[in-house]
Amino acid sequence: MSAEAATHSHDHAPAYSGAPRILDREPLVLNNRSYSWITNRICGIVENKQPLLWWILFVPSVLLTGLMAFCFIYLISTGVGVWGQKQPVAWAWDITNFVFWIGIGHAGTLISAILFLTRQKWRTSVNRAAEAMTIFAVMCAGLFPAFHVGRVWMVWFLAPIPNANAIWQNFKSPLLWDVFAVSTYFSVSAVFWFLGLVPDLATLRDRCKPGLRKTMYGIFSLGWRGANRHWSHYETAYMLLAALSTPLVLSVHSVVSFDFATSIVPGWHTTIFPPYFVAGAIFGGFAMVLTLMIPVSKIYGLSDLITPKHIDNMAKIILLTGTIVGYAYSMEFFVAYYSANPFELQTFMLRGLYGPSTWAYYFMFGFNVFAPQLFWYRPFRHNLWVVMLVCMCVNAGMWFERYVIIATTLERHLIPGSWRTYEATWVDKYTFLGTFGFFMMLFLLFLRFLPVIAIGEVKGVLPQSNAHNHDHGKEGVQEEDLMAYPDRHVPREAAAV
């Protein structure tokens, strides 16, 4: 817990003599950084000029966003036929991309909400960026169903507003539940994100010279002055939002899974879909958080805040959720056999053994279930290249999962006469590519204007922030020292300086 305890750790006492010893928690911020160091380091990202790399990434992102816009304009002006779906594959890349992006959008709320409720303090270093990522990913996700309706200017018909035709929405339709789930998720995530930002915006405001920036940060920080009578309500509100967001995350991806599972299509209708989709979303979301945060940490020198311990924890969550996803894949296969339903079994045989798109199934299984198993081995969790590689696999694997579920299931319908193998068109491909540009552009702008790490929250988890810090002195030892891991990153002796 404390630095003092850490320095004493290498004198190994005999196994048991007198007082038992204590297993300390690893520090959440390395090198005993002070409050003002944290403020300076994080605000510096916003206040200083961006590194060249930022521009190298930003310019192509804007260009890709333009490509996306072009594809959508082309789609509207020509018709949905420019996409590759034809009967029987009426849903393909559009819904795949929708589910892919909305899945990525789940890690933000997971880190913010579930880890908050379970008092996982390490979340503070990554929650802000994850929440931002959530919002941008949900924006990317929303584009696809909106444009898939065809006449996008009629999209307001999705909202239950009394209209001249006296037509109400069909509330028994999973697609309408999606509208409510995704828009609620976007709204609540945005509220959660904004509320978390308020104290940090005040920090930026207080550091600015008078001018436009100070005015803008001033307006958005709402006149925050860190008063405890405010913190008291604020913490309650934050806890409430976390408690609301947790079932919300589960519900959103469950509702997305209902799009498929309420049908009677073999391969889509199975009762495990809701938790299986949720686990998959968390899995893919965490992979994307790491994909973004490892480079951010390296480029902006944040490795004292995003420590090997943080990456280790996230790698473990990826391992766990990847294995849960593997459990779900296996249960689906088992029940396809056990149900003795020939159509169900046929669907899975076509997916996995002899269909036209088995390659997609192998990518899915290999990337999502086997690749994360590398994380059983600690040195792999501590090697950033391996972590990045696995995360890239997971990002791709989760896209393939949705592709397998959606397109390859429809390719082989019940009647062989209507079979058709799906092929994506260039519009499908460039639209999807374009959303990556849009996502990256938003994320880079976020890095440029807002604090990437929750400054106030990180300060709150430092040992000196505890008004009742009980130092147990020489009794404590850290696992790192006890186990003498070969790949240990930060020598304790150096850390104590």
Partner 1 sequence: MGHHHVTFEDLPQGGEKFEPAKGGKLIGAFGALGALGLAGSAYFFLFTKDNVFGSFAYSWLFAVFFAFTIICGGCFWIMLHNASNSGWGVAIRRLWEQLANMILPLAILSIPLLIPAVQKPLYEWMNHHREAHHHAVEAGTSVYEALHHMAESNPHLHVLTAKYGYLNIYEGFSWYSRFAFYFFVLWFIASKLRSRSVKQDVDGDIKHTIKARQFSCTWLLFFALTVTFAAVDWVQTLDYAWFSTMWGVYIFAGCAWSSMAVTILLVTWLKSLGYLKQVVTEEHFHLMGKLLFAFTVFWAYIAFSQYFLIWYANITEETRFYLTRNTEGWRYVSIFIVVGHFVGPFLALLSQARKKKPFVMVGVCLWILFMHVVDLYWLVIPERGPSLSVGVTVAGAWIGDVVAFIGVVGTVGFLFLRSLANYSLYPCRDPRLLESANVIN
Partner 2 sequence: MSTLKRVHGYLAEFDGAADIYHAAEQVRDAGYQRWDVHSPFPIHGMDDAMGNSRSVLPKLVFVGGMTGTCVAFTLQTLTQTNFWSSIGLGFLQTLAETYPTIVQAKPTDIWTLPAFFPVMFELTILFSAFTTLFGLLALMGLPRLNHPLFASKQFGKFSDDGFFVCIEARDPKFSQEGTKALLEKIGGKNIELVEDEL
Which of 121/474 has CB closer to partner 2?
121
Please answer whether residues 441 and 61 qualify as being in contact, where contact means their C-beta atoms are separated by less than 8 angstroms: yes
The entry of partner 1, partner 2, none that residue 77 binds, CB within 5 to 8 Å by partner kind: none
Which of 205/413 has CB closer to partner 1?
413
Please answer whether residues 304 and 33 qualify as being in contact, where contact means their C-beta atoms are separated by less than 8 angstroms: yes
SS3 assignment, position 476 = strand
Which of 142/456 has CB closer to partner 2?
456
Taking CB under 8 A as the criterion, the residue among 10, 233, 269, 298 binding partner 1 is: 269
Within 270-341, residue ranges assigned H as helices are 273-299, 308-338
Taking CB under 8 A as the criterion, the residue among 42, 89, 110, 188 binding partner 2 is: 188
Taking CB under 8 A as the criterion, the residue among 153, 171, 354, 385 binding partner 2 is: 171
Q: Within 10 Å of residue 31's Cβ, how many Cβ atoms?
A: 15
143, amino acid identity: L
Q: How far is CA 311 from CA 86, 362, 382, 430, in A?
A: 43, 27, 7, 32
Burial of 492: CB neighbours in 10 Å, binned 0-12, 13-18, 19+? middle
Which of 51/247 has CB closer to partner 2?
247
Which of 22-30, 248-256, 303-311, 474-482 is the region at the interface with partner 2 (rule: CB under 8 A)? 248-256
Which of 138-146, 183-191, 246-254, 402-410 is the region at the interface with partner 1 (rule: CB under 8 A)? 246-254
Rounded least distance, CB 264 to partner 2, Å:
11
For residue 332, which of 357, 362, 358, 352 has the smallest C-alpha distance? 352
Can residue 271 be called a binding residue for partner 2 (CB under 8 A)? no
The CA distance from 383 to 311, in Å, is 10
Which of 114/495 has CB closer to partner 1?
114
The entry of partner 2, partner 1, none that residue 233 binds, CB within 5 to 8 Å by partner kind: partner 2
The position carrying tokens 């391992």 is 319
Which of 43-51, 81-89, 326-334, 411-419 is the region at the interface with partner 1 (rule: CB under 8 A)? 326-334
Which of 128-136, 203-211, 338-346, 347-355 is the region at the interface with partner 1 (rule: CB under 8 A)? 338-346
The CA distance from 237 to 228, in Å, is 14
SS3 assignment, position 315 = helix
Which of 14-22, 44-52, 388-396, 451-459 is the region at the interface with partner 1 (rule: CB under 8 A)? 14-22
Q: Within 10 Å of residue 40's Cβ, how many Cβ atoms?
A: 13
Please answer whether residues 89 and 410 qualify as being in contact, where contact means their C-beta atoms are separated by less than 8 angstroms: yes
Which of 96/246 has CB closer to partner 2?
246
Which of 73/243 has CB closer to partner 1?
243
Taking CB under 8 A as the criterion, the residue among 163, 339, 418, 464 binding partner 1 is: 339
Can residue 467 be called a binding residue for partner 2 (CB under 8 A)? yes
Residues in Cβ contact with 149 at an 8 Å cutoff, skipping those fewer than 6 apart: 155, 158
The CA distance from 373 to 322, in Å, is 8
Can residue 258 be called a binding residue for partner 2 (CB under 8 A)? yes
Can residue 227 be called a binding residue for partner 2 (CB under 8 A)? yes
Which of 23/159 has CB closer to partner 1?
23
The CA distance from 14 to 314, in Å, is 34
Q: Within 10 Å of residue 423's Cβ, how many Cβ atoms?
A: 12
Please answer whether residues 347 and 369 qualify as being in contact, where contact means their C-beta atoms are separated by less than 8 angstroms: no
The CA distance from 173 to 311, in Å, is 41
Which of 183/346 has CB closer to partner 2?
183
**φ, ψ at 272 (rounded to 5°):** -80, -5
Can residue 16 be called a binding residue for partner 1 (CB under 8 A)? yes
Can residue 332 be called a binding residue for partner 1 (CB under 8 A)? yes
Please answer whether residues 246 and 188 qualify as being in contact, where contact means their C-beta atoms are separated by less than 8 angstroms: no
The entry of partner 1, partner 2, none that residue 275 binds, CB within 5 to 8 Å by partner kind: partner 1
**φ, ψ at 478 (rounded to 5°):** -105, 150
Tokens matching residue 165: 């035709």
Ramachandran region of residue 14, left (φ > 0), alpha (ψ -120 to 50) or beta? beta
Which of 251-259, 367-375, 378-386, 442-450 is the region at the interface with partner 2 (rule: CB under 8 A)? 251-259
SS3 assignment, position 268 = coil
The entry of partner 2, partner 1, none that residue 36 binds, CB within 5 to 8 Å by partner kind: partner 2
Name the residues that contact partner 1, by CB under 8 A: 15-16, 19-23, 25, 117, 119, 247, 250, 254, 258, 261-264, 269-275, 323, 327-328, 331-332, 334-335, 337-341, 468, 470, 472, 477, 479, 482-483
Name the residues that contact partner 2, by CB under 8 A: 34-36, 39, 160, 162, 166, 168-174, 176-177, 180-181, 184, 187-188, 191-192, 195, 199, 202-203, 205-207, 218-219, 222-237, 240-241, 244-245, 247-248, 251, 255, 258, 455-457, 459-460, 464-469
